[in-house]
Amino acid sequence: MSATLAASERAGQASPPHAPVLQVRGLVKHFAVGGGLAGGGRAQVRAVDGVDFEIARGETLGLVGESGCGKTTTGRCILLLERPTAGQVVFEGQDLTAMSDSDLRRARRRIQVIFQDPYSSLNPRMTVGQMIEEPLAVHGLAPDPARRAARVAELLSHVGLLPDMALRYPHQLSGGQRQRVGIARALAMQPSLIVCDEPVSALDVSIQAQIINLLEELQETFGLTYLFVAHDLSVVRHISDRVAVMYLGRIVEITDRRSLYDDPQHPYTRALLSAVPIPDPVVEASRERQVLAGEVPSPLAPPTGCVFHPRCPMAVAECSRTVPPLKEIRPGHHAACIRLEPALPRPLAERSQEQAASNDR
């Protein structure tokens, strides 16, 4: 094992329980398009355009937004399935973007992924047992065939499948069973971080609840950390500890789950939540909705300044000129909007109220 990876593993093992497992710093991913035979310049799709966040050990961070906002690309950059254009992906104290190929291969054992489509992500020519055994053999985690078979049975049991499922092929399983196989395959590497890329969006609602409950049970059992990428705000609310909202390649709000759903600060987050139906018909009929005007701009030519300003009901002229940074509106609650002002620290606010009352007297 190289010195770089050894240091990485020591950092992960020695880090305190609530230290960040993952830190994403200034992540950028641009895709060049155009420039074909007809000539002309090559345009760039700004899929991810300066993303920062971190995930603590044992935490679930939900990453939400409309289709095309860059959330899946962010996940792929963290996995290094896409090489970032700029920025850092620091996993257990080491920057994955600066690792050699050999170190990166070893580090990837600790970062796994659960894909959106449980059918296309499984090899139709391999049995369930062969698919789960393969990474165990490649990485030398269970070199003996008998130990691999025992490990496969154990993993299937962890995800709620019977051991004889190891002999079946993907087409012989239901959608929920296939996704459980994908989860078992991710667990085989004993990861500390799993990127869940829309893991329930292709499943029926009843099966979605089962898979979400399974992920929560596995997190508690194995101390897993999740980046949960999704567009369904109801699913994210159920599983996440904190939620980051993306719009056109940028994070516009990030905070704990309760604060986001009970008191959203960014106008885009408010619009997203207003579109989520409420099961109470009386409340649903009487509540105020926020409908956004226009369409999502193209990432080929994003707006200047705040990327949300062309559709924002709060926009002023400055919004088209200034890129708003994520700022702390209240403790632990960050939003990117120049119209939002940080709340005064409580002691100072109380002193100001006392002074005002004194002046009135």
Q: Tell which wins on pLDDT, 247 or 206.
A: 247
Q: What is the mean pLDDT of residues 311-332?
A: 92
Q: Tell me what pLDDT residue 42 has.
A: 74
CA dihedral 16, 20, 22, 27 (to 10 degrees): -150
What is the pTM assigned to this prediction?
Answer: 0.86
Q: What is the mean pLDDT of residues 75-88?
A: 95
| Rounded (5°) CA angle 176-180-181 | 120
Q: Tell me what pLDDT residue 341 has.
A: 83
Q: What is the mean pLDDT of residues 170-183?
A: 94
Confidence bin at 106 (pLDDT 50/70/90): confident
Domains in the chain, please, with CATH? 3-34+41-124+189-349 (3.40.50.300)
Q: Tell me what pLDDT residue 108 has.
A: 86
- Distance separating alpha carbons of residues 73 and 86, to the nearest angstrom: 13
Sheet bearing 20-34, strands edge to edge: 42-56, 20-34, 86-91, 94-95
Evaluate whether 91 touches 104 at the Cβ level (below 8 Å): no
| Rounded (5°) CA angle 216-213-159 | 85
Q: What is the largest CA-CA distance in the chain?
A: 85
The yes-or-no verdict on residue 86 having pLDDT over 70 is: yes
| Other residues' Cβ atoms within 10 Å of the Cβ of residue 34 | 13
Contacts with 98 (C-beta within 8 Å, 6 or more apart), sequence order: 88
- Distance separating alpha carbons of residues 205 and 232, to the nearest angstrom: 11
Q: Which of 89, 179, 167, 70 is nearest to 126 (CA)?
A: 167
Evaluate whether 306 touches 282 at the Cβ level (below 8 Å): no
Q: Tell me what pLDDT residue 105 has.
A: 86
Burial-class residue 32 by CB neighbours within 10 Å (0-12, 13-18, 19+): exposed
Q: Tell me what pLDDT residue 202 has.
A: 83
Q: What is the mean pLDDT of residues 230-247?
A: 94
The yes-or-no verdict on residue 1 having pLDDT over 50 is: no
| Rounded (5°) CA angle 237-159-152 | 145
Q: Tell me what pLDDT residue 40 has.
A: 54
Q: What is the mean pLDDT of residues 287-314?
A: 85
The yes-or-no verdict on residue 12 having pLDDT over 50 is: no
Burial 125-136 (b: 16+ CB within 10 A, else e): eebbbbbbbebb
Q: Tell me what pLDDT residue 296 has.
A: 85
Sheet bearing 333-335, strands edge to edge: 111-114, 193-197, 225-230, 60-64, 242-247, 250-256, 333-335, 327-330
Confidence bin at 275 (pLDDT 50/70/90): confident
